[in-house]
Amino acid sequence: MGIVPSLVDRLSPAPRVCLFLAFFTFVLCTAGAASAVDPASQERVWITVGADAFEMLQHADEIQLDAQPLRAYQEQDEVVITQVSALDLQSISGLIHKYFERCSGFMVHPDLDHAVETLNRQHAQRGATIEYLLDQQTAMAALQPRLQAENIRETIERLSTDFNNRYYGHPSGQAAAEWIRDLWQGYAAGREHATVELVQHAWTQPSVILTIEGSHYPNEFVVLGGHLDSISSGSGNPDFLAPGADDNASGIATLSEVARVMLTQNFRPKRTVQFMGYAAEEVGLLGSRDIAAEYEAAGTEVVAVLQLDMTAFNGSAEDIALLSDFTNSTLTSFVGQLVDTYQPELMRTSTACGYGCSDHASWHREGYPAAMAFEARFGQHNSSIHSTGDTLATLGNSGDHALKFARLGLAFAVEISTDELGEVFFNGFESGDLTAWSVVEP
């Protein structure tokens, strides 16, 4: 509506810019824990956003409620710091999704210093903290055949039809999170080392975490996550329909099937494995930001993070696309080896999705090694997301494509949670040099 037509023509896929955007989105989320953004407040908030999206927003009537044009406070490497009204955050989310297909695409900061720090850290990458080894073929041969596409399909169906939406500020979004908690508690029942909890935030919808405690290194964590919320662009109705079957009931269903097999087969990892359903990803990675920032503040050792956001739409010639931006390159290449080893029949590729495109950016921002496996090349992914058309029917009523990601997730959890090598120390951030993790040989 408020977009200059010629600008719109130039705004189709821009993966490089999206990269930067993803990073900032993460920052937005991190800021929320300390100072939650009240969507109804009149306050102005600092955000970081890709330069391309910033240019689009400058011309968008929708976000100039207070009649002040957007100004760039600082720009670095195609990322801009600007200040907006908190009232405009939902519109900004919708516009960036519309023109750049990014899930969130911006980050809200508690203050200007935090925004500047985020600009300075955007290219940082801390080294992997342990050596990732491929040596669990026996366990995988026993576990992998038990993963069932039908279970994934059924979980997607429940999440996308039993709730109007899974919006972060809506009671329906809270009910969906509690449903996931109950599903995971069912899998964990009778397992002494497994627990399920809700993580409360400054908004209605909680996150959900399933923990399988490690037998040897309980204080080292392997995290597999995906967001549990859904959104539908352009609706002012709080009861709007947002089935979110692919985005991201599919990721939650995929994670659930991995957890089901590990727990029902009583697989005991050496490191602690956590499955996370993040709240409020669609409005700026808020849930994962809170959690990752809390882990970092506590000095928690997270040795690897896998993000699954959209796994069920088979849109490319290749089966699995590994994200190349705002991820850890060592871990990402190991994830590629997991595909080649345990699903040699598959084709994989790499793709970039842009700044702040999903929750892995939250972990990456805190310096933890994170990887993300995606359903297709970016741009060939499901185009029905963030609409009432994101249904199981659009996924061919099938969990077959998602099953490939469940096999990958199982391999990730089993292989990394059992590696013995080294003792991990975290020495904290060095300014401008995030290689502060070190491995000491035993």
Residues assigned a catalytic role: 227, 247, 281-282, 309, 386
CB of 238 to Zn ion, least distance (A): 20
What are 155's two structure tokens? 């979980």
| Nearer Cβ to Zn ion (126/360) | 360
Q: Which stretch binds Zn ion (CB under 5 A): 41-49, 72-80, 105-113, 243-251?
A: 243-251
The rounded distance, in Å, linking the Cα atoms of 240 and 70 is 29
- Upper half-sphere CA count for residue 287 (Cβ side, 13 Å): 31
**At residue 63, what is the residue type?**
I
Q: Which stretch binds Zn ion (CB under 5 A): 96-104, 155-163, 177-185, 390-398?
A: 96-104
- Does 245 help bind Zn ion (rule: CB under 5 A)? no
Among 309, 359, 366, 415, binds Zn ion (CB under 5 A): 309
Q: Which stretch binds Zn ion (CB under 5 A): 73-81, 295-303, 305-313, 375-383?
A: 305-313
Q: Across 156-315, where does the E strand assignment appear?
A: 194-199, 207-212, 217-227, 271-278, 301-308
CB of 137 to Zn ion, least distance (A): 32
- Does 390 help bind Zn ion (rule: CB under 5 A)? no
- Does 103 help bind Zn ion (rule: CB under 5 A)? yes
Q: Which stretch binds Zn ion (CB under 5 A): 175-183, 213-221, 306-314, 414-422?
A: 306-314
Tell me: cis bond preceding 219? Omega within 30 of 0 counts.
no
CB of 155 to Zn ion, least distance (A): 16
The rounded distance, in Å, linking the Cα atoms of 271 and 217 is 5
- Does 247 help bind Zn ion (rule: CB under 5 A)? yes
Q: Which stretch binds Zn ion (CB under 5 A): 67-75, 102-110, 128-136, 170-178?
A: 102-110
Closest-CA residue to 57 (of 74, 80, 41, 39): 80
What are 433's two structure tokens? 């040099």
The rounded distance, in Å, linking the Cα atoms of 359 and 296 is 15
CB of 306 to Zn ion, least distance (A): 15
The 79-85 sheet, strands edge to edge? 74-76, 79-85, 44-50, 106-109
| Nearer Cβ to Zn ion (278/368) | 278
| Nearer Cβ to Zn ion (160/343) | 160
CB of 400 to Zn ion, least distance (A): 20
User: For residues 322-354, b (16+ Cβ closer than 10 Å) or e, as one string?
Assistant: bbbbbbbebbbebbbebbeebbeeeebbbbbbb
- Does 248 help bind Zn ion (rule: CB under 5 A)? yes
User: For residues 177-197, b (16+ Cβ closer than 10 Å) or e, as one string?
Assistant: bebbbebbeebbeeeebbebe
- Does 101 help bind Zn ion (rule: CB under 5 A)? no
CB of 285 to Zn ion, least distance (A): 10
| Nearer Cβ to Zn ion (41/388) | 388
Which residues, listed in sequence order, are joined to residue 212 by a DSSP beta bridge? 194, 273
- Does 164 help bind Zn ion (rule: CB under 5 A)? no
| Nearer Cβ to Zn ion (50/225) | 225
Q: How many Cβ atoms from other residues are within 10 Å of residue 169's Cβ?
A: 16
| Nearer Cβ to Zn ion (37/103) | 103
The residues binding Zn ion (CB under 5 A) are 103, 247-248, 309
